[in-house]
């Protein structure tokens, strides 16, 4: 994890945190009821003892620890101090729970790759065991059989139109690194293309390692051991997808105008405008990040279609 921060993830212990807050809640409720009963009991002594003035004079209650020698006379203030300490602990635990709950869940692919790395004999080789070792999944679960290259290619092409659903996070893990919101193309490159490319590269390296004339060694770390982890730069992926988005943004309006210039009749022009407008909207959804609002998508699509309509009108006149 220290060498590859992207795969670091830790247990959230949500159930224990919730139980801890509930225990504090019960304890504070008991202290509150006890304090209310004690206040009523002291109030009834208002004509016989100084403790009866606590409800009216708060300074007498605060100074009762030092002014009154009898320990029974300042038990109400002792209970207030005890409740204050529990409240401090409860508020601290509550704020910590809120902060931990706001941490993002780790990427499923990174968690699965870490589990596989711990299992593989040439990598982690079951280097951890005992309690807590299955925080990232069952280390003894057999790895799925590798699909053939045609099957992987078919799944890759299918993922362009029907992205695979990410399995739910049942491991109760959090990631200490904030996730960057990326567009659909970058997500497809990271989750579909790179695993496909890495699997193909592994097959080639395995074929070379089995060939005695072309035997190669994997990348090694400082200890002389093979790391078994392939790292791809997120900045490089974002640079590539940004370049693709820029090229598409430049080509699509020009292509639409070029096709409309060859349109014969209003019906053909309307069909072309509808088709290119739909293609533009799909491109916005696929090439922009998740922060793009629906209003922005509608506004940009309306502006694009308006440009095409104006071009058709000018061409007709």
The SS3 assignment for 80 reads helix
The SS3 assignment for 23 reads helix
**Contact at 8 Å (CB) between 193 and 232?**
no
Bigger pLDDT: 139 or 212?
Answer: 139
Q: What is the dihedral of CA 293, 294, 298, 303, to 10 degrees?
A: 0
**Contact at 8 Å (CB) between 30 and 82?**
no
Could you tell me what percentage of the chain is helix, strand and coil, using 3-state DSSP and rounding each to the nearest 5? 65, 5, 30
Quick one: pLDDT band at residue 62, thresholds 50, 70, 90? low
pTM above 0.85, yes or no: no
Tell me the mean pLDDT in the region 174-202: 81
**Contact at 8 Å (CB) between 7 and 113?**
yes
What does the pLDDT look like over 84-140, one tens digit per residue? 899 999 999 999 999 998 888 888 777 877 887 777 777 767 777 777 777 787 777
Bigger pLDDT: 283 or 62?
Answer: 283
Tell me the mean pLDDT in the region 10-34: 92
**Contact at 8 Å (CB) between 270 and 287?**
no
SS (H, E, C) 234-261: HHHHHHHHHHHHHHHHHHHHHHHHHHHH
Beta strands (DSSP E) in the chain are 10-11, 173-174
Tell me the mean pLDDT in the region 228-256: 83
Tell me the mean pLDDT in the region 251-262: 86
Tell me the mean pLDDT in the region 179-190: 79
Residue 139's φ and ψ, nearest 5 degrees, are -75, -10
Strand-pair partners of 174: 10
| Structure tokens given for 115 | 């589990």
Scored b (16 or more CB within 10 A) or e, 186-203 reads: bbbbbbbeebbeeeeeee
User: What is the average pLDDT score of the chain?
Assistant: 77
* Alpha-carbon gap, residue 271 to 18, rounded angstroms: 58
* Alpha-carbon gap, residue 21 to 137, rounded angstroms: 27
pLDDT at position 235 is 80
**Contact at 8 Å (CB) between 137 and 170?**
no
Tell me the mean pLDDT in the region 214-230: 49
Highest-pLDDT range among 31-40, 58-67, 242-251, 306-315 = 242-251
What does the pLDDT look like over 124-172, one tens digit per residue? 677 777 777 777 877 777 767 777 888 888 888 888 777 777 766 678 8
**Contact at 8 Å (CB) between 39 and 55?**
yes
Bigger pLDDT: 86 or 313?
Answer: 86
């Amino acid at each position: 994890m220290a060498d590859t921060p992207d795969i670091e993830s830790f247990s959230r212990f949500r159930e224990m945190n919730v139980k801890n807050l509930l225990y504090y809640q019960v304890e504070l409720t008991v202290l509150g009821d006890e304090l209310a009963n004690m206040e009523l009991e002291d109030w009834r002594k208002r004509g016989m003892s100084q403790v009866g003035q606590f409800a009216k004079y708060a300074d007498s209650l605060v100074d009762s620890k030092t002014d009154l020698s009898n320990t029974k006379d300042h038990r109400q203030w002792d209970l207030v101090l005890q409740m204050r300490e529990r409240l401090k602990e409860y508020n601290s635990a509550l704020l910590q729970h809120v902060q931990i709950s706001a941490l993002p869940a780790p990427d499923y692919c990174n968690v699965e790759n870490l589990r596989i790395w711990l299992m593989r004999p040439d990598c982690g080789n079951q280097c951890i065991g005992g309690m807590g070792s299955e925080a990232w999944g069952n280390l003894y679960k057999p790895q799925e059989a590798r699909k053939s290259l045609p099957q992987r290619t078919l799944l890759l092409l299918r993922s362009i139109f029907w992205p695979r659903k990410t399995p739910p996070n049942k491991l109760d893990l959090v990631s200490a690194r904030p996730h960057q919101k990326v567009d659909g193309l970058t997500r497809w490159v990271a989750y579909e293309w790179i695993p496909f490319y890495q699997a193909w590269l592994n097959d080639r390296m395995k074929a070379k390692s089995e060939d005695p004339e072309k035997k190669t060694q994997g990348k090694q770390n400082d200890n002389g051991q093979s790391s078994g982890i392939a790292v791809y730069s997120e900045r490089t992926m974002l640079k590539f997808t940004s370049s693709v988005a820029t090229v598409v943004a430049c080509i699509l309006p020009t292509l639409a105008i070029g096709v409309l210039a060859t349109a014969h009749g209003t019906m053909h022009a309307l069909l072309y405008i509808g088709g290119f407008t739909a293609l533009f909207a799909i491109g916005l959804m696929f090439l922009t990040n998740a922060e793009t609002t629906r209003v922005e998508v509608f506004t940009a699509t309306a502006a694009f279609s308006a440009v095409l309509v104006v071009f058709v009108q000018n061409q007709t006149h």
